[in-house]
Amino acid sequence: MESAEIARRFLTFFEARGHTVMPSASLIAEDPTLLLVNAGMAPFKPYFLGQRTPPSPRMTSAQKCVRTPDIDEVGKTTRHATFFQMLGNFSIGDYFKEQAIPFAWELLTGDRAGGGFGFPEEKLWVTVFEDDDEARDIWHTKVGVPLERIQRRGLADNYWHMGVPGPGGPCSEIYYDRGPEHGREGGPVADEDRYLEVWNLVFMQKQLGTVRSKVDFDIVGDLPNRNIDTGMGLERMAAILQGVDNIYETDTLWRVLERAAALTATSYGRDHRDDVSLRVVADHVRSGTMMVADGIRPGNEGRGYVLRRILRRSVRNLRLLGGQDAGLMHELTSVAIAAMGEQYPDLVRTADSIHAVIDAEEASFLATLRTGTTIFDTAVAAAKEQGAARLAGDQAFKLHDTYGFPIDLTLEMAAEQGLRVDEEGFRQLMAEQRERAKQDARDKKTGNLDVSVLDELLSRSGGAVEFLGYHTTEADARLVGLLAGGAAVPAAGEGTEVEAVLDRTPFYAEGGGQLADQGVIDLGNGAQIQVTDVQSPLAGLIVHRGRVTRGEAQAGDAALARIDVRRRQAISRSHTATHMVHAGFRRALGESAAQAGSENSPGRFRFDFTASGAVPLSVLRDVEDEVNDVLINDLDVRAFHTSIDEARAMGALALFGEKYGDQVRVVEVGDYSRELCGGTHVGSSGQLGLVKVLGESSIGAGVRRVEALVGIDAFRFLARENVLVAQLAEQLKVRKEELPERVSGIVARLRDAERELEKVRSQQVLAVAGSLAENAADLGGIAFVGHRAPDGTDAGDLRRLATDVRGRLAARPAVVMVAGVPKDRPVVVIAVNDAARERGLKAGALVGIAARTLGGGGGGKDDLAQGGGADAAAIGDALAAVERAVGAV
């Protein structure tokens, strides 16, 4: 039974029993306490907590999840994986244990022809929480499971929570007995390799406060309703139903693994080390594909860091398998898209965009590997010269953090050199960095507010703040909550920085690339709050941040909220222009030019999109011309709500990685542009006035950024450019249209002159080569040349001089050292001929001695190496140090 069929049967079974089928939420979690969705119930948490009204009291879903705490174990075992799918059925205050347990048994043991999974009853075991007599009795008396196949377990095994404040409760797990060939008898408490967990039924009834560990947490009260949350791991079910030994041999993962083996000319099952790498590649390629599809981009923090690590581990393990060529990730990504496409059709639709991101990250990391290897070699040489048996933790961390060098690669290469790595020091530095990143992410999302405070504000506002900003720029409201310093306060006096929550507001909260509105909130008692920022830290909650500028703001006051209309209009022009430029680029470059971010500011916007390389200037000009032609036609801009399916049917563009509900808002500019969008826009395209594209640039692997001006800002820019062109034309005594040719000619002549100067300078440097060779010192039969070149001699000339002198000394062992100060920092080059290398002299080791004397570092090959430092005054000491080292051989 294929994975897609397992998911279909699960959802169909519960749909027939009154459950609403919910689509998988994005891996990007709405919950500010989560980096990524890591459990099937995570998108349902607001319903369990009573913060939002569920679309139905009974729901079911197949949810995408990513967990990475055990990422280092992926591949080493056949149980660990980063991406997985969780099938679940959920009850919000509807049924509880007495129905959830029989539902699970019926689906698991039901005949396959009738839509069940066909498990033999005698193969199934059950665990319950240690004091949950109710669940035990239902399993035994209502379902008929023998008491000897029902086992009790404690908090560590049979109490569920998310690891953060939120819902929790006892659970009951169902296990499948794979037989004596997989382990010893005695049920799950004896052997969880033989008895494989297939389903976890959580009886969610408690609200948890502080969570210190799996077994150490505070229960602060009962949930508003008793709920059911179940989780069935799709990959684990597939392993059982497909009759394979582990999740890596199931249909979707196996297709990627098998192709990786073929591309690297390896075979699964022959060599443990190769098997580990193949499993890493299979899991990580699938995980990376799913994360990119949900709009996550490789980066150095948060979700982007998780994705970057996953993709780079894939590339690294492909190289361990012998796959040295670029493009392997492209082919494996195609396999992952095909394998998962039946369940997630959007993967196929956005394949070009997914490829653009992953291909660029692969190319970037391959370049990183080349750079990192050079830095690693230098660190190893220094360690050996000092007689150290290991690389320091801070060196390994610098390789990882600065150069993107994976720690497992550092460990392996160090072992090849006979060195160990201070892993403990490395892990400590990594832990400190992760904690900083997590705290930064938490602070950024919540504005340093406690999540429980945000929950309380959302509850006070009636479940969701009503946004009125599409139709009005001011509105009467009520100040339902006031915070100062992150804590709820009843009042705040003049000068106090506050966060204010209204029950309804015209203020647009920053989102979808659009900057937040600014303005004022006038309160009934004469007080006023100047609003400088608006955020939505939780779905449905709008927080106005600013300062009390007059009087005393009091929670509960009547309010009049007024936005800065001119600012809103300017931002709306930018937002509409972004839609139009997006449409223009897709027409020019194809669907692979998918939006990857934007910022709509007053009079200016930036638009990020996926692309494999730089966009030609001619394309930028064509897009700009096309957009401005559309502006002249003054097309109507219309916004309306419809279903997601209807929006896609009419060709509305759903932005890559965005999350959408069943009902969506569509914004269209005539027939030119049609996108799903929650932002504010102008009434017609003519209100934009003019769009001026300033240029484009790279902002990361596979992502380009276009910046542009709109309206009066665009006109002012063109006016300034016209004055500048007129001044240049006057200075060069040519007509404006002749400027490019005249400037090109001046630049060409300047470059010719620079080349001539460089040639003369190089000849002057090399002219001393003969004299240096003739006057070489004899150090125990080794010819040694130590020379300081004139300041300003570039590094290339230093290398040419060193190799030229070495060539003149080919008849005997020779070491040539040339030092200079090309700019403001000293550089040293050492060249060693074959005869000297036979005497044990190596350029890389010698240059290390010189570079350390100069206060820096360096490295290279045995015959030629280069280093540098910070102390130019120490060049004489460096020459002497190298001379002593050569003389000591």
Beta strands in 417-550 (DSSP E): 420-421, 466-467, 474-484, 487-488, 491-492, 497-502, 504-505, 519-523, 528-535, 543-550
Strand partners, 77: 74
Q: Which residues, other chains included, contact 68 with Cβ-Cβ below 8 Å and sequence gap of 6+?
A: 36, 82, 306, 309, 310
Q: Are residues 21 and 101 in the same domain?
A: yes
Cβ(111)–Cβ(244) below 8 Å: no
What's the CA gap between 288 and 300, in Å, rounded?
15
Whether residues 157 and 304 share a domain: the answer is no
What pLDDT sits at residue 864? 92
Amino acid 446: pLDDT? 46
Residue 299 and residue 313: Cα distance in Å, rounded?
14
Note whether 349 and 428 are same-domain residues.
yes
Tell me phi and psi for residue 87, to 5 degrees: -90, 135
Give the pLDDT confidence score for residue 447 in this predicted structure: 45
* Phi, psi dihedrals of residue 792, rounded to the nearest 5°: 100, -15
Strands (E), 564-676: 595-601, 604-610, 637-643, 663-669, 673-676
Q: What is the pLDDT of residues 331-352, one digit of tens each?
A: 999 999 999 999 999 899 888 8
Q: What is the pLDDT of residue 748?
A: 92
Q: DSSP label at 552?
A: -
- Three-state DSSP at 449 gives coil
Choose among 357, 356, 376: nearest CA to 368. 376
Do 549 and 589 sit in the same domain of this protein? no
Write down the pLDDT at residue 841. Answer: 93
Residue 690 in any domain: the answer is: yes
In a domain, 85, yes or no: yes
- Whether 471 has a binding-site annotation, put simply, is no
Give the residue from 784, 869, 841, 780 showing the smallest Cα distance to 818: 784
The answer on 519 and 581 residing in a single domain is no
Token pair recorded at residue 310 = 């996953």
Q: Are both 14 and 31 inside the same structural domain?
A: yes
Same domain, residue pair 411 and 286:
yes
Q: Is 582 annotated as a binding residue?
A: no
Identify whether the C-beta of residue 464 lies closer than 8 Å to the C-beta of residue 52: yes
Total structural domains in the chain? Answer: 5
CATH number at 668 reads 3.30.980.10
pLDDT for the residue numbered 404:
67
Nearest to 545 by CA among 448, 679, 461: 448
DSSP string covering 612-631: SSPPPHHHHHHHHHHHHHHH
- Domain final residue, candidates 411, 443, 475: 443
Q: Residue 266: which of 250, 276, 251 has the closest Cα?
A: 276
Domain residues for the domain of 667 are 568-719
Closest Cα to residue 110, out of 179, 218, 197, 12? 12
How many residues can be counted in the chain? 889
Tokens (6 digits) for 151 = 């086992």
pLDDT value at position 754?
Answer: 83
Q: Is 579 annotated as a binding residue?
A: yes
Is 575 labelled a binding residue?
A: yes
Residues of the chain with pLDDT under 70: 32-33, 403-404, 408, 412, 416, 434, 436-455, 459-463, 654-662, 701
Q: How far apart are CA 275 and CA 75, in angstroms?
A: 8
Helix, strand, coil percent content, the chain, rounded in steps of 5: 45, 25, 30
Does residue 729 form part of some domain? no
- 721: closest CA among 749, 744, 690? 690
Instruction: Please check whether residue 736 lies inside any domain of the structure.
Output: no
Residues 136 and 65 in one domain: yes
CATH number at residue 503: 2.40.30.130
Query: What pLDDT does 657 receive?
Result: 47
Backbone angles phi, psi at 691, to 5 degrees: -120, 125
